[in-house]
Amino acid sequence: MAVLDPEMKQAVIRRTVRKFAEEKLVPAAVTMDQTAEFPAQLAQEMAALQYFGLEIPEAYGGAGLDSVSCAIVIEEISRASGAMGLCISVHNSVSTFPVYEFGNEAQRQKFLVPMARGEKIGTFCLTEPNAGSDATSIESTAVKDGDGYILNGSKIFVTNGGASGLNLIFAITNPSERGREYSVFVVESERQGLEKGEQEQLMGMRGNPVCPIVLNDCRVPRENLLGEEGQGMKIALSTLDGGRIGIGSQALGIGQACLEAAIKYAKERYQFGKRIGEFGAIQGFLADMATRVEAARLLILRASSLRAQKKRHAREAAMAKLFASETAVEAARIGLQIHGGYGYSKAYPIERYYRDAKVCEIYEGTSEVQRIVIARTLKK
């Protein structure tokens, strides 16, 4: 398999990743869904191909790709396996990026290099039992203690949690009601005081080891503070713009898989003496699916292109994530309907796509939150 290279044209990157995904991820996706086990060996193979350091410069062990190429990689992986697409998206978009963007040189060498090489899988620990869409309601704390901090709190629904080596922990460093401040810490999974709970039994994305992370008097040195104290929300908001492009790309991959599965079935299934794809109703379904999937792709390309040019892209990222995630859900619904009763069985992958797609409307900002973000930009 070819290693990703910044000199590759985007069409070549797509073909390269698709070849790997079809040979390795498509067969593994069924097993992952059945067992809910993370494929560690497969992740190592993906690391060797630079999939864990997509936008990170080669000097830090990454592939050095631009944002558009990164979106293409995530789409193609997700087309084969939503769970591994989620792993790659979160690791690249909201875990390695902030370490590269806000970390100092020492932190880049210590944390970023092993993350970009896939030696340490990363997480983004913001969500808590009482803090979902309202991230400012987090209750985890980081109290200064000599030359370090003592962290306490609970994080839930941590993507990649069960397989992580490094975790970005958001915590309150100034609890004052008038000037509440949040900070981010890079915390090693083996550090004393950090405990991982049991893997969540999810409806979809079952191959990703999502789990809670609990911090109980977890002491970290000051050099694990990412950026400056009090920069937590700035880092989170900046990071989530890229994260939304990543999840949008993941949703696009799932939507594309739904479209292809529906076309294939419509060509194979005979009723009333002819292929069901010859019926006007089915053709209308397929036309709508294809149109929405292509529109989602264009929105993602627009957002990722702006990001690659280092231009503001908060609105475009929200639009891409909103439309692509809702497109994936609709494509899965229509695709399952085209399959009829067979679509409700595990004999065909469409039921897995249906389960995997739904969460794209929820994590890294619900569809309702994306609409708020978009609406705010329209007032300016």
DSSP string, 318-364: HHHHHHHHHHHHHHHHHHHHHHGGGGGSTTSTHHHHHHHHHGGGTTT
C-beta neighbour count of 77 within 10 angstroms:
27
Name the region of 289 (left: φ>0; alpha: ψ -120 to 50; beta: rest). alpha
Q: Which residues pair with 186 in a beta bridge?
A: 168
Token digits of residue 55: 């936008």
Residue 83 CB neighbour total at 10 angstroms: 29
CB 344 within 8 A of CB 224: no
Handedness of CA 166, 220, 210, 98 (dihedral sign): negative
Contact 52, 92 (CB under 8 A): yes
What type of residue is 222? R
| Parallel, antiparallel or unpaired: strands 164-174 and 181-188 | antiparallel
- Token code pair at residue 246: 């990543």
Active site annotation includes 364: yes
Q: Say how many CA atoms lie within 13 Å of 268 toward its Cβ.
A: 10
In degrees and rounded to multiples of 5, residue 192 shows phi and psi of -60, 135
User: Which residue of the set 195, 361, 364, 368 is catalytic?
Assistant: 364
On whether the CB atoms of residues 252 and 328 are closer than 8 A, the answer is yes
Closest to 225 (Cα-Cα) out of 137, 110, 54: 110
Residue 192, classified by CB atoms within 10 Å of its CB into exposed (0-12), middle (13-18) or buried (19+), is exposed
Q: Report how far residue 141's alpha carbon sits from residue 215's, in angstroms, rounded to the nearest whole number.
A: 9
* Residue positions annotated with a catalytic role: 364
